[in-house]
């Protein structure tokens, strides 16, 4: 596995740990609809939370969350719509981003609730 893939998986594991510590119920990890992926699908009380995790080894080129551009948001929303239809859910949904920076000296997590709103 490529080093960036390992870094991404480590970031997702930190994000899952973070969400569980906040009381979220993890429903799915790396859920795919065609070529669209949702990193984490969770529940926060009665709210469905679609979580995009972005992990970097440095913030030199900007914080990881800036990589969740409009195109990425559209892809996440399409996958979320498919998940909701497939599971026949009628539930309020929120889109969060968890930004993770992992260096040899630190692990930093920044959780952005309601990071973006559905656009198609």
Phi, psi of 31 (to 5 degrees): -90, 130
pLDDT in tens, the chain (120 residues): 566 689 889 999 999 999 999 999 999 999 999 999 999 999 999 999 999 999 999 877 788 898 999 999 999 999 999 999 999 999 999 999 999 999 989 899 999 999 999 875
What's the pLDDT score for residue 77? 97
Q: Hey, where are the domains in the chain? A: 3-116
* CATH 3.40.605.10 for the 3-116 domain, yes or no: no
What's the pLDDT score for residue 120? 57
What's the pLDDT score for residue 1? 54
Cβ atoms of 97 and 40 within 8 Å: the answer is no
């Amino acid at each position: 596995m490529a080093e960036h893939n390992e870094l991404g998986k480590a970031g997702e594991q930190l994000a899952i740990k973070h969400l569980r510590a906040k009381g979220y119920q993890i429903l799915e990890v790396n859920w795919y609809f065609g070529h669209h992926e949702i990193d984490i699908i969770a529940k926060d009380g009665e709210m469905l939370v679609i979580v995009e995790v972005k992990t970097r080894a440095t913030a030199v080129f900007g914080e990881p969350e800036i990589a969740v551009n409009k195109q990425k948001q559209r892809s996440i929303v399409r996958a979320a719509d498919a998940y909701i239809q497939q599971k026949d859910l009628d539930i309020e949904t929120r889109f969060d981003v968890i930004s993770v920076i992992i260096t040899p000296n630190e692990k930093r997590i920044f959780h952005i609730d309601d990071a973006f709103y559905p656009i198609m």
